[in-house]
Copies of this chain bind each other. A is one copy, B any other.
Amino acid sequence: MNTKISVDKNKAKDKDKDKDKDKVILLICDGLGDRPSLGGKTPLQAADTPFIDKISEDGINGLMDVISPGIVPGSDTAHLAILGYDPYKYYPGRGVFEAFGADMELHKGDVAFRANFATVDDKMRVIDRRAGRKGSKELAEALNGLEIEDIKIFLKNTTEHRCAVVMKGKNLSKYVSDVDTHEEGGIVKDCKPLTLKEGADERKTAGIVNEFVRMSYGILNEHPVNEERRRRGEPPANIVLLRGAGSYEEVPSMKERYGFGAACIAGASLYKGVAKYLGMDVVPVEGATGKADTNLNNKAEAALHALDEHDFVFVHVKGTDNSGHEGDFEGKRKMISRIDKELVARIEDVDSYIIITADHSTPVSIKRHSSDPVPVVIKGDGVRKDGVNKFDEISVASGGLGRIRGIDLVPILSDFMGYYKMYGT
């Protein structure tokens, strides 16, 4: 491939020991896959996508079972698979990604959680699971650094009412249940060892979690932020609810595993967390929000720039999934059209492989993730261009890739890029 993106990139290539290697932009549109609904079309079929369709026309297309047929992927396990890590082996539990996404440090044996500030009454009944969208930073600081027995607990506010929690110390386990009720009106749950593994570590961890939640109520209920809220007639954000325990173990980085340096361009913290877990560089992007209002132009710019110093650039867009969960066909259609014009249009002539796909389907008709396979296209030097010229869930099925799995994608790309390993001689 020629180098025509920027002067910087030429310089980078000159420095590069692997001059003959190619680069990749992998665009994952979260929850992009769908089922036919409005007018018998999927949002992707209904969207205005000339640039994406051109990539489809120039590329090789197919369907991808992100985990395996019939298995409904979560966003976390899905991204592990698509980035080349078998989730059945490498999935550490959601909390780990949350903590990495919040830029917290993790070491082997640390246990991490997702957490919400919530409002409870004095009988521990949950009135609001998402309380304190303002002032959360101070509340988090009030709880950060607490010690219970030999365990030290760190807490960091991420966005709005959301936090990441990290517990450090000996003999902790991720096999404990959620404290979060997952719906309003319920009583805060006791954290318990999960039935699949009930040992001393699990009992200890559950005890620490329960004590931490009790302490959070004591500290937060009287906190000046909440006294101020009460004065304004607002319910206090007076407890922190934990869920999604994860246990950190080191994994080989993408560089170690596949040989190429990788960067992540994402707004939502989960995806940044997955990327850090896999040793990718997370590139900060102004206006990348992980929502429909995200700045796609900036993401495109950041992706092109990241190619200077990286071989593999993973770009994540979340808005498509949000509309799917809301059952908003028109919102999803519009988001896809925006991705086409504001992101793909700006990267489509890059001198690297371009891959467009999704981490799972989130059909607007069912408002949840589904196992319907996602469309995938690979454009770049030497791919077996097929007859597909429209990128959608039905058209790609007759493409040259056939039906692959998420875990296959990075090995396929590695070979195109030149980072292949031959098996046998």
Contacts of A373 in B (CB 8 A): 402
Query: Which residues of A from 29 to 88 have beta carbons under 8 Å from B?
Result: 35-37, 40, 42, 62-63, 67-78, 87
Interface string of A394-425 (1 = CB under 8 A from B): 10011111111100111111110000111111
Contacts of A75 in B (CB 8 A): 424-425
Chain multiplicity (copies):
2
Does A352 count as interface, using CB distance less than 8 angstroms?
no
Interface centre among A393, A403, A415 (most CB of B within 10 A): A415
Q: Which of B74, B77, B363, B403 contacts A403 (CB 8 A)?
A: B403
Q: Which of B394, B408, B409, B421 contacts A384 (CB 8 A)?
A: B394
Does A383 count as interface, using CB distance less than 8 angstroms?
yes
A396 to B383, CA, bound (A): 15
Q: Which size class do A's interface residues fall under?
A: 35 or more
Q: Which of B35, B42, B400 contacts A394 (CB 8 A)?
A: B400
Does A382 count as interface, using CB distance less than 8 angstroms?
yes
Does A372 count as interface, using CB distance less than 8 angstroms?
yes
Is there contact, CB below 8 Å, between B424 and A77? yes
Does A365 count as interface, using CB distance less than 8 angstroms?
yes
Is there contact, CB below 8 Å, between A423 and B382? no
Q: Which of B37, B402, B410, B422 contacts A73 (CB 8 A)?
A: B422
A243 (CB) vs chain B CBs: closest residue: B425
Interface centre among A74, A398, A409 (most CB of B within 10 A): A398
What's the minimum C-beta distance from A42 to chain B, rounded to whole angstroms?
8
Contacts of A404 in B (CB 8 A): 69, 403
Does A94 count as interface, using CB distance less than 8 angstroms?
yes
Interface of A is mostly: loop
Contacts of A365 in B (CB 8 A): 382
Q: A63-B402, A370-B415, A402-B403 are in contact. Are A423 and B74 (CB under 8 A)?
A: yes
Interface centre among A370, A387, A404, A422 (most CB of B within 10 A): A422
What's the minimum C-beta distance from A306 to chain B, rounded to whole angstroms?
23
Is there contact, CB below 8 Å, between A67 and B423? yes
Is there contact, CB below 8 Å, between A384 and B36? yes
Query: Which residues of A from 200 to 245 have beta carbons under 8 Å from B?
Result: 244
What's the minimum C-beta distance from A368 to chain B, rounded to whole angstroms?
8
Does A366 count as interface, using CB distance less than 8 angstroms?
yes
Is there contact, CB below 8 Å, between B384 and A393? yes
Does A385 count as interface, using CB distance less than 8 angstroms?
yes
Is there contact, CB below 8 Å, between A423 and B384? no
A-B contact pairs, 6 of them (CB 8 A): A40-B385, A70-B410, A70-B414, A74-B425, A363-B382, A397-B398
The 5 A-B residue pairs with the shortest CB-CB distance, nearest first, are A70-B411, A74-B424, A77-B424, A402-B403, A69-B408
Question: Other CB < 8 Å A-B pairs besides A35-B384, A63-B402, A386-B394, 14 of them?
Answer: A35-B383, A70-B408, A70-B410, A70-B411, A70-B413, A73-B424, A77-B423, A87-B424, A366-B382, A370-B420, A393-B400, A394-B400, A401-B403, A403-B403
